[in-house]
Amino acid sequence: MKKENRDRILIFGSSGHTGVVIDIVERESKFDILGLIDPHRDPNEEFMGYKVIGNEEELQEIVLTHDVKGGIIAIGDNWLRKTVRDKILQNCPDFRFLACIHPSAQIGKDVAIGKGTVVMPGVSVNSGCVVHEHCILNTNSSLDHDSVMGDFSSLAPGATLGGNVGVGNFSVVSMGANVIHGKEIGEHSLIGAGSLVNKNVGDCSVWYGVPAKFVRRRQPGERYL
């Protein structure tokens, strides 16, 4: 059977998280993956059936040569994803970032999903939610109605947010954590795995436990994975 002509895109990264993103793009069948961009691998090295075809410095040339229509940064760490986004835009200011949504995800009415955001298998996003740019909604996580995720924020597998929850830019809700309806989590904060958040959480802090308690301050960009 003749393969239909689909727009070609690039995937940035080549980690386990990248593998999941590749799988989502393949299942969506909207784009063809031209190859991977990763400065930490040798050119032509293969990952999940795709070749590493260069690094961010070579991006402009790759985009023009192959008529690339956009790409997805498939890097799990929120801060690292932002540094790669900045590098891409330095080298290729008009580069277009794309969202990808696994076909098994349930996306409700009047939901906005920002560019560069990745929605994994089994995710539920109920009506009125806004998920801004370059977020990760990991496997089986859920956002109830009217919740908002800031740019570069993430939900780990199985994290559950009630209605009207806010998660600030770069913040992380770790595996299996629950956030009660109406609570606000500031920017650059981290909620530990398995926690129950029943109070507002400020910026740049680590909270965990049931119920979650403030544990310590945290700097923007501090590693957590």
Ligand X SMILES: CC(C)(COP(=O)(O)OP(=O)(O)OC[C@H]1O[C@@H](n2cnc3c(N)ncnc32)[C@H](O)[C@@H]1OP(=O)(O)O)[C@@H](O)C(=O)NCCC(=O)NCCS
Binding residues for ligand X, per CB under 6 A? 138, 156-157, 174-175, 190, 192-195, 206, 208-209, 215, 224-225
Instruction: Give min distance, CB of 153 to ligand X, in A.
Output: 13
Q: Are 123 and 135 in contact (CB under 8 A)?
A: no
Instruction: Give min distance, CB of 156 to ligand X, in A.
Output: 4
How far apart are the two ends of the chain, measured CA to CA in Å? Answer: 43
Q: Which is nearer to ligand X, 66 or 217 (CB)?
A: 217
- Report the residue closest to ligand X, judged by CB: 192
Cβ-based neighbours of 195, under 8 Å, separated by 6 or more: 174, 177, 178, 207, 208, 209, 210, 211, 212
Q: Which is nearer to ligand X, 156 or 197 (CB)?
A: 156
Instruction: Give min distance, CB of 91 to ligand X, in A.
Output: 28
Token pair of 188 as six digits: 């650059």
Q: Which is nearer to ligand X, 126 or 141 (CB)?
A: 141
Q: Are 73 and 84 in contact (CB under 8 A)?
A: yes
3-state SS, one letter per residue, for 76-101: CCHHHHHHHHHHHHHHCCCCCECCEE
Q: Which is nearer to ligand X, 31 or 207 (CB)?
A: 207
Instruction: Give min distance, CB of 225 to ligand X, in A.
Output: 6
- Among residues 200, 224, 196, the alpha carbon closest in space to that of 212 is found at 196
Instruction: Give min distance, CB of 193 to ligand X, in A.
Output: 4
Q: Which is nearer to ligand X, 108 or 157 (CB)?
A: 157
Provide the β-strand partners of residue 46: 51
